[in-house]
Amino acid sequence: AQSVTQPDIHITVSEGASLELRCNYSYGATPYLFWYVQSPGQGLQLLLKYFSGDTLVQGIKGFEAEFKRSQSSFNLRKPSVHWSDAAEYFCAVASNTGKLIFGQGTTLQVKP
Amino acid sequence: NAGVTQTPKFQVLKTGQSMTLQCAQDMNHEYMSWYRQDPGMGLRLIHYSVGAGITDQGEVPNGYNVSRSTTEDFPLRLLSAAPSQTSVYFCASRGGTGFSHEQYFGPGTRLTVT
């Protein structure tokens, strides 16, 4: 069965530091992968998605993610974090039955 | 466009009460879905619909009913609320059944069952 694991429940980084959020998936075929961000009290917003092609995907707000088939990973990165990036981040994979399967989420805290 | 709207934002129910969570979208999207979000569990799919008159179960459908009489609306009904249904509920929609279409989420309904 398809699944998504986000190993880090909570991450704290200093403002201006780089960020990497980990995501591992389990899926037999080429996956459709997504990263969403949820600000406090808000719904989810799509940051970026991977369907095929270039394994480095650019998204909104300066985020990027790299698909690594050999590691079954789709890690999210940002070179320099801003205080406004504090939020919860969800990785998701589209299942072969047409549904989105979400990871448990990673809460990002940004220190001034 | 208002996007995806949900009402109410907050609700407190007593065990055994029933209620309907409303969801509407003004983007003429075919696909709509309901998720619940619980701490440490991400979002889990409750029910979904690929068009008016067509609904199907997701991962955690027990205790919930849905119907889709129009393209715009996709209400979620709790027939007899239980404390285990305390959660944040999100409605989402996208333009087609394929994932090349972006999925848009509503702001959520926070439900507490006492």
Q: Please provide the DSSP assignment of B13-80 as one string.
A: E-TT--EEEEEEESS--SEEEEEEE-TTS-EEEEEEEEETTEEEE-SS-TTEEE--SSSSB--EEESS
* Cis omega (within 30 of 0) for bond into A79: no
Tell me what the mean pLDDT of segment B61-74 comes to.
97
Query: Residue A1: what pLDDT?
Result: 75
Please judge whether A100 and B45 are an interchain contact, meaning their C-beta atoms are less than 8 angstroms apart: yes
Chain centroid to CA B99: how far? 19
Query: Residue A54: what pLDDT?
Result: 86
Give, for A35, the enclosing helix (H) or strand (E): strand A32-38
Residue in chain B closest to A48 (alpha carbons) equals: B102
- Nearest by CB to A43, which of B41, B58, B106? B106
Query: Residue B97: what pLDDT?
Result: 63
How far apart CA A57 and CA B73 sit, in angstroms, is: 34
pLDDT digits (tens, 9 = 90+) for A67-97: 999 999 999 999 999 999 999 999 999 876 6
Residue B4 at interface with chain A, using a CB cutoff of 8 Å: yes
Q: Write out chain B residues lying below 8 Å of A43, CB-based.
A: 4, 90, 105-108
* B75 — pLDDT class (breaks 50, 70, 90): very high
How far apart CA A78 and CA A66 sit, in angstroms, is: 11
pLDDT digits (tens, 9 = 90+) for A3-21: 899 999 999 999 999 999 9
Please judge whether A99 and B58 are an interchain contact, meaning their C-beta atoms are less than 8 angstroms apart: yes
Considering all CA atoms of chain B, what is the largest pairwise distance in Å, rounded to the nearest integer?
A: 41
pLDDT digits (tens, 9 = 90+) for B2-23: 799 999 999 999 999 999 999 9
Residue B99 has pLDDT above 80, yes or no: no
- Nearest by CB to B107, which of A43, A100, A103? A43
Structure tokens belonging to residue A15: 């403002």
Confirm if A19 and A85 have CB atoms less than 8 A apart.
yes
Please judge whether B105 and A44 are an interchain contact, meaning their C-beta atoms are less than 8 angstroms apart: yes
